[in-house]
């Protein structure tokens, strides 16, 4: 195992608060009714598709990929406002759904959902220590918070390998994981938007596809990868459209500067996914039960 210190190399709780604790009421104005804040999966050529249906389709996709249906214990790393936990329990007969978040506003929101089978912890994946192993793990767009822009390649890979090693330890033998991550596409890290990674999502950075593969190698077997960047473009445009439609209410809640910042962020991101500057990858991963050790051990 790599011995580089990886603690605190990701997004701090303060930086998470800056983005996610702007106000639950504000996010409700432009997210769908499930309050899902990650790229949805749209039905191609279906003019009647809606943001809410696309989000539920995405949740079901990951739940299926992680083989979580009917499972006893499922973990959601970076659980947002709890839509995956709710879906796992209410539709997919999961006995206990566990969520990790660094956002106090999100944890309080989930506590108000009245889901006795859900348990949410306000803690980093780095501090998580389950009492029993999980049957499946899902993580949707939390990976971007595991490292910061200024890290070296070596530090970044060490964090990613630590993450996948933790998931490996937490999963039962032959357990599955479904991961959704925004990555750099036809772009370089040094070209990344200062606006996005300082004003909107401080202390955050995208990985490249190669870095995720290097981070998971000999820990998880990659069973499927698919790029859903166009789906993310549609999602970002749907969010932007809803925010514009509710601009006055948004300004009332959080002020003009914050609304302007989010509109700019959603616009810029939709251009990035439209142009392939960014990609959105979904990974289906299976735990390697007898991993070959790293040569550095």
Partner 1 sequence: MEIQSSQIEQISTVSQSSNSQENISKKTATAAEIQDWLVCYLAELMENKPDEIDVTIPFDRYGLDSSAAIGMIGDLESWIGIELDPTLPYDYPSIETLARHLAEESKVNV
User: Under the criterion CB under 8 A, does residue 240 sit at the interface with partner 1?
Assistant: yes
- Quote the CA–CA distance of 88 and 206 in Å, as a whole number: 27
User: Under the criterion CB under 8 A, does residue 256 sit at the interface with partner 1?
Assistant: yes
Specify the residue for token string 């392939």: 276
Of 274, 286, 288, 291, the residue at the interface with partner 1 (CB under 8 A) is 274
End-to-end CA distance of the chain: give it in Å, rounded. 6
Of 48, 114, 194, 290, the residue at the interface with partner 1 (CB under 8 A) is 194
Of 121, 128, 166, 264, the residue at the interface with partner 1 (CB under 8 A) is 264
User: Under the criterion CB under 8 A, does residue 183 sit at the interface with partner 1?
Assistant: no
Minimum distance from CB of 194 to partner 1 (Å)?
5
User: Under the criterion CB under 8 A, does residue 270 sit at the interface with partner 1?
Assistant: yes
Of 195, 210, 223, 224, the residue at the interface with partner 1 (CB under 8 A) is 195
Minimum distance from CB of 262 to partner 1 (Å)?
10
Q: Please, are residues 89 and 110 in contact by the beta-carbon 8 Å criterion?
A: no
- Quote the CA–CA distance of 254 and 236 in Å, as a whole number: 20
Kindly tell me which of 110 and 277 has the beta carbon lying closer to partner 1. Answer: 277
Minimum distance from CB of 247 to partner 1 (Å)?
7
Minimum distance from CB of 278 to partner 1 (Å)?
9
Of 57, 128, 237, 286, the residue at the interface with partner 1 (CB under 8 A) is 237
User: Under the criterion CB under 8 A, does residue 153 sit at the interface with partner 1?
Assistant: no
User: Under the criterion CB under 8 A, does residue 260 sit at the interface with partner 1?
Assistant: yes
User: Under the criterion CB under 8 A, does residue 272 sit at the interface with partner 1?
Assistant: yes
Task: Pick the stretch among 2-10, 42-50, 90-98, 262-270 that binds partner 1 (CB under 8 A).
Answer: 262-270
User: Under the criterion CB under 8 A, does residue 169 sit at the interface with partner 1?
Assistant: no
**CA atoms within a 13 Å half-sphere pointing along the CA-CB vector of 95:** 6
User: Under the criterion CB under 8 A, does residue 187 sit at the interface with partner 1?
Assistant: yes
Minimum distance from CB of 271 to partner 1 (Å)?
5
3-state secondary structure the chain: CCCCCCCCCCCCHHHHHHHHCCCHHHHHHHCCCCCCCCCCCCCCCCCCCCHHHHHHHHHHHHHHHCCCCCCCEEEEECCCCCHHHHHHHHCCCCCEEEEEECCHHHHHHHHCCCCCCEEEEECCHHHCCCCCCEEEEEEECCHHHCCCCCCCHHHHHHHHHHHHHHHHHHEEEEEEEEEEEEEECCCCHHHCCHHHHHHHCCCCCCCCHHHHHHHHCCCEEEEEEEECHHHHHHHHHHHHHHHHHCHHHHHHHHCHHHHHHHHHHHHHHHHHHHHCCEEEEEEEEEECCCCCCCCCC
- Quote the CA–CA distance of 266 and 9 in Å, as a whole number: 26
User: Under the criterion CB under 8 A, does residue 275 sit at the interface with partner 1?
Assistant: yes
User: Under the criterion CB under 8 A, does residue 271 sit at the interface with partner 1?
Assistant: yes
Minimum distance from CB of 19 to partner 1 (Å)?
17
Of 85, 233, 238, 279, the residue at the interface with partner 1 (CB under 8 A) is 233
Residues that bind partner 1 (CB under 8 A): 187, 191-195, 233, 237, 240-241, 244, 247, 256, 259-260, 263-264, 267-268, 270-272, 274-275, 277
């Amino acid at each position: 195992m790599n011995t580089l210190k990886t603690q605190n190399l990701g997004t701090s709780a303060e930086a998470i608060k800056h983005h996610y604790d702007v106000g639950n009421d504000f996010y409700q104005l432009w997210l769908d009714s499930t309050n899902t804040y990650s790229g949805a999966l749209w039905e191609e050529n279906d003019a009647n598709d809606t943001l809410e249906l696309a989000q539920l389709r995405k949740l079901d996709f990951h739940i299926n990929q992680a083989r979580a249906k009917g499972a006893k214990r499922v973990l959601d790393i970076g659980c947002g406002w709890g839509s995956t936990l709710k879906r796992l329990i209410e539709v997919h007969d999961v006995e206990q759904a566990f969520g990790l978040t660094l956002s106090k506003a999100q944890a309080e929101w989930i506590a108000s959902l009245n889901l006795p089978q859900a348990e949410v912890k306000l803690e980093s994946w780095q501090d998580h220590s389950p009492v029993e192993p999980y049957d499946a793990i899902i993580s949707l767009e939390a990976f971007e918070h595991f490292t910061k822009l200024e890290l070296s390649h070596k530090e970044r890979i060490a964090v990613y390998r630590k993450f996948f090693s933790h998931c490996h330890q937490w999963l039962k033998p032959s357990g599955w994981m479904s991961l959704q991550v925004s990555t750099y596409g036809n772009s370089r890290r040094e070209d990344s938007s200062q606006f996005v990674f300082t004003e909107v999502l401080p202390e955050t950075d995208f990985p490249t596809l190669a870095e995720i593969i290097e981070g998971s190698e000999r820990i998880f077997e990659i069973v499927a990868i698919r790029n859903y960047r166009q789906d993310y473009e549609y999602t970002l445009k749907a969010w932007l459209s809803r925010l514009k439609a509710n601009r006055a209410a948004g300004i009332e809640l959080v002020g003009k500067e914050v609304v302007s910042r989010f509109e700019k962020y959603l616009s810029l991101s939709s251009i990035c996914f439209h142009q392939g500057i960014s990609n959105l990858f979904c990974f289906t991963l299976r735990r390697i039960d007898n991993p070959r050790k790293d040569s550095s051990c």
